[in-house]
Amino acid sequence: MTGLIAILTVVLLAVIIVQLARISEIASKIRGEESVRAQVNNRTAFYCLVFMIGFLIFCIVSAWYYKNDMLGYGPHAAASAHGGSLDDMFDITLVFTGIVFVLTHIALFWFPYKYKEDKSRIATFFAHSTTLEIVWTAIPTVVLIFLVVRGLNVWNNAMADIDPEEDYIEIEATGYQFAWDLRYPGNDGKLGTRDYKMINTANNPLGQDWTDEKNHDDFLPTELVLPVGVKVRVRITAKDVLHNFYLPHFRVKMDAVPGLPTYFIFTPIKTTDEYRQELRKYPAYQVPSDPTEPDGPQKWETFNYELACAELCGKGHYSMRRVVRIVEQDEYEEWLSQQSSYYMLNIRYTENDPNLDKLIGLEINQRKQELKSAFDNAVSMGDINTIRLKNVFFETGSASLKNDSKYELDYLAELLSSSEGLKVELSGHTDNTGESEVNMTLSQSRAEAVRDYLIGKGVSADQLSAKGYGDTKPVNSNETEEGRQNNRRSELKIISK
């Protein structure tokens, strides 16, 4: 409808101009060329003046009216640390071009008015002025140098890579038709290596190398969640065609190129909630977010930062939108704790796991942590002073330690060596299968095996005693296999501190 009205207006204006021209043509034939020309000149000069003022007013009013849609202003303020300087750059350019626009506009229409035909005036002959040439070359040069130098400065700051000493989070975004695979580094803070030859849509979408320990805790979340105030380095790549990683509110935009990793660094400075509260002040956001539901939530309440693909990459391009959530540090840590490593969830102990025959660092650390907290508890509490060495294993019916036990015992040796004066008893226990005497002997030699191993690892022999209890101290029923398994165990008891 509006389009039709606009076309009609243009057509009508054209008809009016043609008609006016014809009228003055006829009039000039009747009244003589001279007087008509003077009249037309006067009229045109007047219209120039009217247009000069009218168009200036129109520009100023419309700029004021749309000011909230300008970058870095009102509801469009940047939400990242570098965003403000980028917006300022656009605004400064706008100020300079605005000044030039107003001056040239006035000159363009004032001159036809001022210097309309006047018989009594003789034109000045003016061919060259060095001063004038210098002035109008120097002014744009100075202005452009200022803009370029400032722009370069802003660019270099925004694109400066991370200083290894700095505190930052590195995440990775891989674009493909038509979604993003996001990857976070997990507890170690490091993203694992990838190899495109290992990409497999079924169980390795990013081609992660599972022999690389750094990959074991990496996780692939469905939403982009980041803590406020922390520097983020985004590693950006693509799997098929060109995509573009675009976070409009953070003034981040970088091509995702297959085979050529790019990156962008930014620091979010406003949480999603803070940004919503800012939007709340503007009438444009105080309307229902869904027009068909007038009582539903308002636009500012449903606002979300977003990640978009800004490269027209195919027909499903639009579906690459992802919600971005900026939260406080504690909420971020809470969210992190709910994420599970892709490897542990999908690969560990399957046929695709290259680490089947060994414990991975993640599991070793977990065992260490468990042992440490049990050990510390036993040392500090006194009454529950016995801990079970859950991961000490023997060959069946023998006192020779399985290789797997070394993780637990090595760490136990560290703990004991650093607790000088602490005396512990290492005990062996069996289930009730077989003869009691045999069990007693076996448990004694197992306890001694543990003691000897620890002494071999540098623990002082004075700290350690070993005792076998055979089947005399069951912790479970010996009726079930599970119960018997629980009864076959090695323990550590704090004797004195």
Q: How many residues bind Cu ion (CB under 5 A)?
A: 4
Tell me the C-alpha distance between 422 and 408, whole Å.
19
- Given the complex with Cu ion, which of 239 and 489 has the nearer CB atom? 239
Q: Tell me if the bond preceding 51 is cis, omega within 30° of 0.
A: no
- Given the complex with Cu ion, which of 178 and 282 has the nearer CB atom? 178
Tell me the C-alpha distance between 371 and 375, whole Å.
6
The residues, ordered by sequence, that sit 6+ positions from 282 with a Cβ below 8 Å of its Cβ are 68, 74, 75, 300
**Residue 395 Cβ, how far from Cu ion at the closest point, in Å?**
57
Whether 171 and 235 have beta carbons less than 8 Å apart is answered as yes
**Residue 325 Cβ, how far from Cu ion at the closest point, in Å?**
21
Pairing of strands 224-227, 168-176: unpaired
Binders of Cu ion among residues 204 to 243 (CB under 5 A) are 243
**Residue 317 Cβ, how far from Cu ion at the closest point, in Å?**
5
Name which of 407, 390, 400 is nearest 486 in CA terms. Answer: 390
- Count CA within 13 A, CB hemisphere, residue 446: 30
**Proportion of the chain in helix, strand, coil states, percent, rounded to 5:** 50, 20, 35
- Given the complex with Cu ion, which of 234 and 320 has the nearer CB atom? 320
- Given the complex with Cu ion, which of 269 and 309 has the nearer CB atom? 309
**Residue 307 Cβ, how far from Cu ion at the closest point, in Å?**
11
**Residue 252 Cβ, how far from Cu ion at the closest point, in Å?**
15
Determine phi and psi for 475, rounding to 5 degrees: -100, -15
Of the candidate spans 97-105, 261-269, 318-326, 350-358, the one that interacts with Cu ion by CB under 5 A turns out to be: 318-326
Q: Does 309 bind Cu ion (CB under 5 A)?
A: yes
Q: Does 313 bind Cu ion (CB under 5 A)?
A: yes
**Residue 264 Cβ, how far from Cu ion at the closest point, in Å?**
16
- Given the complex with Cu ion, which of 312 and 381 has the nearer CB atom? 312
Binders of Cu ion among residues 382 to 411 (CB under 5 A) are none
- Given the complex with Cu ion, which of 313 and 389 has the nearer CB atom? 313
Tell me the C-alpha distance between 347 and 180, whole Å.
21
**Residue 488 Cβ, how far from Cu ion at the closest point, in Å?**
58
**Residue 311 Cβ, how far from Cu ion at the closest point, in Å?**
5
The residues, ordered by sequence, that sit 6+ positions from 287 with a Cβ below 8 Å of its Cβ are 298, 299
**Residue 207 Cβ, how far from Cu ion at the closest point, in Å?**
19
- Given the complex with Cu ion, which of 243 and 489 has the nearer CB atom? 243
- Give the full edge-to-edge strand order of the sheet including 168-176: 179-183, 168-176, 231-238, 262-266
Name which of 301, 308, 309 is nearest 272 in CA terms. Answer: 301
Of the candidate spans 42-50, 320-328, 343-351, 483-491, the one that interacts with Cu ion by CB under 5 A turns out to be: 320-328
- Given the complex with Cu ion, which of 320 and 389 has the nearer CB atom? 320
**Residue 309 Cβ, how far from Cu ion at the closest point, in Å?**
3
Tell me the C-alpha distance between 362 and 188, whole Å.
10
- Given the complex with Cu ion, which of 320 and 401 has the nearer CB atom? 320
Q: Quote the strand ranges of 282-350, DSSP E.
A: 305-309, 322-327
Tokens 């296999």 correspond to 481
Q: Does 86 bind Cu ion (CB under 5 A)?
A: no
**Residue 194 Cβ, how far from Cu ion at the closest point, in Å?**
20
Question: What secondary structure letter does DSSP report for 479?
Answer: S
Binders of Cu ion among residues 414 to 453 (CB under 5 A) are none
Whether 328 and 272 have beta carbons less than 8 Å apart is answered as no
Tokens of 3: 């389009």
Whether 338 and 223 have beta carbons less than 8 Å apart is answered as no
Report the sign of the C-alpha dihedral through residues 442, 445, 449, 451, in that order. positive
- Given the complex with Cu ion, which of 243 and 446 has the nearer CB atom? 243
Binders of Cu ion among residues 347 to 366 (CB under 5 A) are none
Binders of Cu ion among residues 242 to 281 (CB under 5 A) are 243
- Given the complex with Cu ion, which of 197 and 315 has the nearer CB atom? 315
Positions in the binding site for Cu ion (CB under 5 A) = 243, 309, 313, 320
